[in-house]
Chain A
Amino acid sequence: MNLKTKIGKLVLQNPILVASGCFGYGEEYAPLLDLSRLGGVVTKGISLKPRPGNSPPRLAETPAGLLNSIGLENVGVDRFVEDKLPFLRKQKACVIVNIFGESLGEYRKLAEIFNDIDGIAGLEINISCPNVERGGLEFGLKPDSTRKVLETVRGKTSLPILAKLSPNVTDIVEIARAAMTGGADGLTLINTLKGMAIDVNTRRPKLARVIGGLSGPAIRPVAVRMVYEVARKLSVPIIGAGGIDSTEAALEFFIAGARAVQIGTGLLIDPRLPLTIGRELAGYLDNQGLKDIESLVGNMLIEKSKRRKE
């Protein structure tokens, strides 16, 4: 079964990737799964300088969901390139580096640095992290700033670039269009939804930073809807993400219009989930009489009259 998929000029051997933030730099998971069998490894968000992250507690479990406020703790670009990237390369992983800046200048610099480094398949531009004071989501909330970040990165790299978008917006299609206009090769939909939880006994917020990002199956219907909306209105390659915890969940995204998917929170529970989904996906396509993943993408059966009403 051919599971090959294309996100613009980025060619993936299979459409199951691991999402940024849940997979570190790959070292921890490597004893449990063969990184070269993943469609792609999206690294922890990398910034120009190392970041310590937010004060704990950084996690809270909610119904079918997980709130986090890690705050982009990462080793910074220099140590990433020196200490972390060689390992990923050695594992023959398809590496997509997630980059994060507090200013356009930082995004530009990061794009420049990675453009000159071998062994990177693409960049994912993080303009959607809700857990930082500056940068991140700040850029991804408006079409104008979204486009500017993408133009800035595009100007400095020939690598395929993906824009990872936030669901915390009024109209995702508008932001998606701006990202593509700015030069993105594809979109990752969606980052976490802003959320919070309170311990009623102590009357304290469960996260030290009060508000965090919600992930997990709780947000899946929102993510599927956003993939569907963007796929319908714009003809752009999409990587779907949001609460994928099974093959069935992943299939929803493909049918809604995604050409690949990322597993995040699901990995924390089952580290081998991406490989399981990859295997079962092939079986599903067989059963449905489809010859490849391409034939499934956006192939939702719906009567035309209903589609018009949406």
Chain B
Amino acid sequence: MVMQLSRCPISKNQVIAPGYFLMEIESPEIAGEAEPGQFVMIKTRDGLEPLLRRPLSLHRISSTSIELLYQVIGKGTQSLSRTRPGEFLDLLGPLGKPFPLPKSNSGSTLLVAGGMGIAPILALAEKIAKRSKVLPAPRLRQAGKGQRSRAPLKIHLLYGAKNKANLVRIKEFQKLGVEVKTVTEDGSAGRKGLATNLLRESLVSSPGQISAVYACGPRPMLKSVARIMKNKKIPLYLSLEEMMACGMGACLGCSVRAKGKEIHYLRVCQDGPVFETGEIVL
């Protein structure tokens, strides 16, 4: 991984839903190295407020640019929302470990997203979809007949948000052929419930084998996903959000407890932000 530190021009910064922005930044250097699950540290504006860079996960990666999806919450995202195309932002990245791709190119892959957790999931879905198109699906020898049939990988998005206004980017997933299921906490769109309800149901109803489960969202959601997937023998990858200072593993500020008897911490920025469920204690 080659990390870059550079000033990059903004090519797009659009409101895509109330309070949600989609930003595109031109950087062939970062885009060329980046993988889904990684993030960039952005100095959102010059000056002392906010003081630190902000970590933002890669929402989409093209050959020359990256896209970031953010909701305006605090000082960092506020100042980002005020920037315009043509302006430059100071970026450090790509950083962190990417999502490992499903080992098998058949069966189904479940993507669980809660709220802003949707951000890195699109890049992942694009990568998995692209790979399953490039690689032929494994040919399964059907019992007795000696006939070969194709069973391509199916991607399911299980997406929960507070309400209808907070469900974003669904069309982009559908364009990839991802089967999208949504829930909202208040029932304003789809059913009332949490993304984890969808996960429980999918485990029961999903035909064929589940090759991997990926989850990104608030800590309580990740905890609950980990609990549901316990002893299922399906690879589970969790993408954590954490406040960071350096973003590259030096300051030891963004720690998460590692599994094991002895107290030991991992760095979300460098050892993560994507962890396999067995690595950490949530």
Q: Which residues of A contact B (CB under 8 A)?
A: 21-24, 28-29, 31-32, 44, 52-53, 55-61, 63-66, 68, 70, 73, 216-217, 245, 265, 267-272
Q: Let me know if A64 and B252 touch, CB within 8 A.
A: no
Which of B51, B255, B264 gathers the greatest number of chain A CB atoms within 10 Å?
A: B51
**Given A31-B3, A57-B243, A271-B92, CB of A24 within 8 Å of CB of B250:** yes
Alpha-carbon gap, A23 to B251, bound state (A): 7
Q: How far is the CB of B250 from chain A (nearest CB, A)?
A: 4
Q: How far is the CB of A195 from chain B (nearest CB, A)?
A: 14
Residues on the B chain within 8 Å of A63, using CB? 48-49
The 8 Å CB contact of B5, one of A22, A44, A265, A272, is A272
Residues on the B chain within 8 Å of A265, using CB? 51, 245
Is B257 interfacial (CB-CB < 8 Å)? yes
Is B248 interfacial (CB-CB < 8 Å)? yes
Q: Let me know if A269 and B53 touch, CB within 8 A.
A: yes
Q: How far is the CB of B101 from chain A (nearest CB, A)?
A: 26
Interface of A is mostly: loop
Q: Let me know if A31 and B2 touch, CB within 8 A.
A: yes
Alpha-carbon gap, A21 to B246, bound state (A): 11
Interface of B is mostly: loop
Q: Let me know if A64 and B52 touch, CB within 8 A.
A: no
- Between A and B, how many residue pairs show CB distances below 8 Å? 91
Q: Which residues of B contact A (CB under 8 A)?
A: 2-3, 5, 43, 48-53, 90, 92, 242-246, 248-257, 262-265, 270
**Given A32-B3, A32-B5, CB of A53 within 8 Å of CB of B252:** yes
Q: How far is the CB of A211 from chain B (nearest CB, A)?
A: 16
Residues on the B chain within 8 Å of A269, using CB? 43, 51-53
Residues on the A chain within 8 Å of B49, using CB? 63-64
Residues on the B chain within 8 Å of A53, using CB? 252, 255, 265
Residues on the B chain within 8 Å of A272, using CB? 5
Q: How far is the CB of B77 from chain A (nearest CB, A)?
A: 13
Q: Let me know if B245 and A268 touch, CB within 8 A.
A: yes
Q: Let me know if B246 and A268 touch, CB within 8 A.
A: yes
Alpha-carbon gap, A269 to B43, bound state (A): 7
Alpha-carbon gap, A269 to B244, bound state (A): 11
Alpha-carbon gap, A272 to B248, bound state (A): 14
Alpha-carbon gap, A53 to B265, bound state (A): 8
Residues on the B chain within 8 Å of A271, using CB? 5, 92, 246
Q: How far is the CB of A263 from chain B (nearest CB, A)?
A: 13
Alpha-carbon gap, A59 to B254, bound state (A): 7
A-B residue pairs in contact (CB < 8 Å), sample of 19: A21-B251, A22-B251, A23-B250, A28-B246, A52-B264, A53-B255, A56-B254, A56-B256, A63-B48, A66-B51, A68-B253, A70-B252, A73-B252, A216-B51, A245-B48, A268-B53, A269-B51, A269-B52, A271-B92
Q: Let me know if B48 and A29 touch, CB within 8 A.
A: no
Alpha-carbon gap, A56 to B51, bound state (A): 20
Q: How far is the CB of B225 from chain A (nearest CB, A)?
A: 20
Residues on the A chain within 8 Å of B43, using CB? 269-270
Residues on the A chain within 8 Å of B264, using CB? 52
Q: Which residue of B lies closest to A56 (CB)?
A: B255
